[in-house]
Chains A and B, each alone.
Chain A
Amino acid sequence: ETGVTQTPRHLVMGMTNKKSLKCEQHLGHNAMYWYKQSAKKPLELMFVYSLEERVENNSVPSRFSPECPNSSHLFLHLHTLQPEDSALYLCASSQEGDMNTEAFFGQGTRLTVV
């Protein structure tokens, strides 16, 4: 079992649909992240949650809405997306406050907006 699990692995949605991406971490970490990875671009940090509180929102459009109900789960709610939102969405977790911790990534959700 991987430490960070994302579902679904692949998602195709229309521009008027509403869908949610789910992330679950089994590592006991207290910080979780959403990243967007588009072709030939850096991994873009979207949101950071630390101790279930959103501490970073990197100018992400409101059509992306994160939710962190507890330290193990993170959701990304999607609505009225645009074709340019098609990308790989990666969830990660790490231990806040420990200088020597790395972030562990899930396998990602490949999102296609049609």
Chain B
Amino acid sequence: GQNIDQPTEMTATEGAIVQINCTYQTSGFNGLFWYQQHAGEAPTFLSYNVLDGLEEKGRFSSFLSRSKGYSYLLLKELQMKDSASYLCAVFSGGYNKLIFGAGTRLAVHP
């Protein structure tokens, strides 16, 4: 079966660093995505990993270990606007089926 696990909720302080973990077990793997979703809005793309290692993009970085079925999203210099849900998603299967985890709701406090 397909299984993607993330923590349900996290809290952090403005200016701090937070790491959101994701573990996956899927029937195929063609890449892992992180999306940000603010309440009532569509998910927006943050990062993509297909090879092992760290991808850095400004304040956001994402790491992948395919052998461990593990990824994390690292958010630095947190801002209040970073309060949102963060969705881990895996491209799985012969056709690009994008399978999502339940998302991690991050609350950033002053």
Which residues of A are in contact with B by a Cβ distance under 8 Å? 4, 31, 33, 35, 40-43, 45, 48, 50, 55-56, 90, 92, 94, 96, 99-100, 102-108
B11 at interface, CB cutoff 8 A: no
Residue of A nearest to B34 (CB): A102
Contact-size category for B:
20 to 34
Q: Are B30 and A92 in contact (CB under 8 A)?
A: no
Q: Which of A42, A50, A104 has the most CB of B within 10 A?
A: A42
Q: Distance (Å) between the CB of B71 and the closest chain A CB?
A: 15
B27 at interface, CB cutoff 8 A: no
Which residues of B are in contact with A by a Cβ distance under 8 Å? 4, 30-31, 33, 41-45, 48, 50, 87, 89, 93, 95-103
Q: Distance (Å) between the CB of A50 and the closest chain B CB?
A: 5
Q: Which residues of A contact B101 (CB under 8 A)?
A: 42
Q: Which residues of B contact A99 (CB under 8 A)?
A: 30-31, 50
Q: Are A92 and B95 in contact (CB under 8 A)?
A: no
With A40-B102, A43-B87 known as contacts, the answer to whether A56 contacts B45 (CB < 8 A) is: no
A-B contact pairs, 24 of them (CB 8 A): A33-B98, A40-B102, A42-B102, A42-B103, A43-B89, A43-B100, A43-B103, A45-B100, A48-B95, A56-B93, A94-B98, A96-B95, A99-B30, A100-B31, A100-B48, A100-B50, A102-B45, A103-B33, A103-B45, A103-B89, A105-B42, A105-B43, A106-B42, A107-B42
Q: Which residues of B contact A50 (CB under 8 A)?
A: 95-96
